[in-house]
Amino acid sequence: MPMRLVILLICLALSTTLAAQQPAPAQRAGAQPPAPTNLKVLAPNTDMLFTMQLFNEALGVQCTYCHVQGDLASDSNPKKDIARKMIAIVRQIDGSFPSSTGVFPAGYHEVDCTTCHRGSVKPETEPPREFYNRNEALGGPPPQITPGVNLKVLPPGTQVHGGGVMHEFRNSLRVDCSFCHGGGRPFEAEANPRKDIARNMILLVRQINTNFPGTGVFPNGMQAVTCWTCHRGDPHPTSVNNKDYGPPK
């Protein structure tokens, strides 16, 4: 057999083998997954992989917690509609923060699924420990139980000092009373702008709780969401937008 023909046959055999080893177009690196279907609250251009990973990490679950295995578009799992309602609640909360931009999950948001869930399906509502300021840590007397004054959003008769709702605020944000009132000022003073922010947060907690049947009017009655749920000991609650992802890998 002529040498030229031998070389030609070898080349044809190699090209056929390499072609057979190539992955299908949909399997090649960098290929886009199929377009999602049955979207009811998420936009078609949503970064679906990032968004679903956010949900998984926030609740500490896998995709099948809300989806049907092998049929992501199916609505058979009732938790999928609950997830849609939670997306609507995040968007509702967003309206309280001028710094939030875009429609969740796009844009920047002060609050998202991570803020409340922190890796658990059921968000926490009770701080695990009491906050003690310096005076209390040194053995000083606890705050006296005094009637609330200048109450604008709390119900009349609410116990605010000496173990009342103000202690819940302290425990949730891990701050002292002066954080909102200002050291040395009368409690009814309005000089500290954080006091009005605190009032707005009380109204926000009430607004969120209206989404859950059986809840009372904060701070009274059963609560699905409290100050602790979002703050967890930090005046600025965490969110996926404020998360440190580390350097590139």
Going from the N-terminus, what domains does the chain have, and what CATH number goes with each? 48-123 (1.10.468.10), 134-231 (no CATH)
What does the pLDDT read at residue 7?
43
Q: pLDDT over 90 for what percent of the chain? A: 65
- C-alpha span between 248 and 242 (Å, rounded): 17
What does the pLDDT read at residue 141?
82
Q: How large is the average pLDDT for residues 128-149?
A: 85
Q: How large is the average pLDDT for residues 146-156?
A: 86
- Which of 148, 129, 142 has its CA nearest to residue 199? 148
Among 26-35, 81-90, 189-198, the range scoring the smallest mean pLDDT is 26-35
pLDDT band per the 50, 70, 90 thresholds, residue 18: very low
Segment 153-202, tens digit of pLDDT = 998 888 887 778 888 999 999 999 899 988 778 888 899 999 999 999 99
- C-alpha span between 57 and 147 (Å, rounded): 43
pLDDT band per the 50, 70, 90 thresholds, residue 32: low
What does the pLDDT read at residue 222?
95
pLDDT band per the 50, 70, 90 thresholds, residue 50: very high
Q: Is the pLDDT of residue 5 over 70?
A: no
- C-alpha span between 50 and 54 (Å, rounded): 6
Segment 190-204, tens digit of pLDDT = 999 999 999 999 999
What does the pLDDT read at residue 2?
52
**Angle value at C-alpha 130, between 194 and 120, nearest 5 degrees:** 85
- Which of 101, 89, 93, 88 has its CA nearest to residue 204? 93
Q: How large is the average pLDDT for residues 38-55?
A: 95
- Which of 48, 85, 83 has its CA nearest to residue 66? 83
Q: What are phi and psi of 101, to 5 degrees?
A: -135, 155
What does the pLDDT read at residue 43?
95
